[in-house]
Amino acid sequence: RTLSYQDLAEQIGAFKLAVYQPSDYVVDQERLAELESRRQTQNFNQKDSERFLVGMMRVNALKRLESSAHALRLTMDRIIDKINKLLDKVERYGQGDESPTHGHIDEEIVPDADEEDEEFVVNRNRSRNPYRLAELDLPRWTSDLKDDRTVLSAVRDRVAAITPERDGKLQDLKQRIRNKVNQPTRNRDGKPNRKLLVFTTFKDTACYLYDNLEASTQELGIAMAMVSGGETYATDGDNTFNAILTNFAPTARQRSATDANHDIDLLIATDCISEGQNLQDCDTVLNYDIHWNPVRLVQRFGRIDRIGSHNSSVQMVNYWPTDDMEIYLRLQNRVQARMALADLTASGDEDPFSEEDMERDLRFRDAQ
């Protein structure tokens, strides 16, 4: 049986994620007090910071499943790999290796950068408080690490079974692209519009879509591109960031006639282009995942809903993670409340999500 959205919502509570909570295993209470006093000057003690980080990792797992099974599988792989490396280090230490490399842990307890999005960013310098293995209850920590690995591996194996061929969401997107190409809308000038802008929160999902849509777009005779922060790809023409956007929206971005042979009809993008870009040659935005910040959805749609557009109409298509919207909205409300507590970049005096904000956001999503 494959993993449903609600399955994961229940299973993420079983992720202890001991790899990110070494302070729970510090035997020397004086050392723990020292670490906590360092962090306390920044409004969070060490234990609280690690707990909040674990909470954010659980939220992130939920968001990545909403995006794609592929993105969640990579998350599981990265955490499992981190656990394996840490267990190997503990084993080497137990065999007498007390070198600086194996006697301390530091980078092992910081999430990988690939797990971050604009709402979940780890301050890597601030997060680092190196522990010495000699300070920790290694048997208990090792046991919890192995338990985590078992749970994470089980989830990983279930989502890994969702291959591209069995990925209903991906297959539905392929059909939507075929429909857009074969039955294009027409703008006010009577010209067919085959352009589609697909947004996703995560680079991993963007790469997955690009890799698995390339063959079908070639069959349809259209060019495709992807932009995600520092990574850009295109099946035709210049694959630099500005060139891709210009070839996707040549009229809006006033492309020169010399570059007219490299039109892009399908653009896959993360929110690196959700602000400040004029892409109104396109008339359809498709949200492959629903960003948990409603403002971001408005900004995504704003790339094509702009003054000067030649389109007769514009539309936004949303992929929701579950048919039971009441379950989803209740879950999102709880998760956003946790995110308010876990804003590690805030001063400690401000709440990034007020109760009024949450209620307004939920009404917005419900209305959609």
What domain range is 42 assigned to? 5-162
CATH number of domain containing 233: 3.40.50.300
Instruction: Tell me which H or E stretch contains 225.
Output: strand 224-228
Note whether 105 and 133 are within 8 A (CB).
yes
Last residue of a domain, one of 115, 145, 162: 162
Q: Examine the pLDDT at 311 and tell me if it is beyond 50.
A: yes
The whole-angstrom distance between residue 146's C-alpha and the CA centroid of its chain comes to: 26
pLDDT given for residue 368 in this prediction = 44
SS3 260: coil
Tell me: do 116 and 219 sit in the same domain.
Answer: no
Tell me: do 290 and 183 sit in the same domain.
Answer: yes
pLDDT digits (tens, 9 = 90+) for 67-116: 999 999 999 999 999 999 999 988 888 887 665 455 556 555 566 666 55
Q: Examine the pLDDT at 150 and tell me if it is beyond 50.
A: yes
| For range 197-208, the mean pLDDT | 95
- What are the CA-CA distances from residue 328 to residues 56, 340, 365 (Å)? 18, 18, 10
What predicted TM-score, i.e. pTM, was given to this entire model? 0.81
pLDDT digits (tens, 9 = 90+) for 321-356: 766 656 666 655 654 554 454 443 333 333 433 445
pLDDT given for residue 350 in this prediction = 39
Q: Report the C-alpha gap between 66 and 201 in whole angstroms.
A: 10
User: What tokens does 359 get?
Assistant: 């209620």
Tell me: do 45 and 157 sit in the same domain.
Answer: yes
Tell me: do 138 and 277 sit in the same domain.
Answer: no
| For range 232-243, the mean pLDDT | 92
Lowest mean pLDDT among 54-58, 308-312, 346-350: 346-350
pLDDT given for residue 364 in this prediction = 46
Tell me: do 362 and 302 sit in the same domain.
Answer: no
pLDDT digits (tens, 9 = 90+) for 351-367: 433 445 445 544 544 44
Tell me: do 157 and 10 sit in the same domain.
Answer: yes
Please report how the helices 69-94 and 46-67 are oriented relative to each other, as an axis angle in degrees rounded to 10. Answer: 140
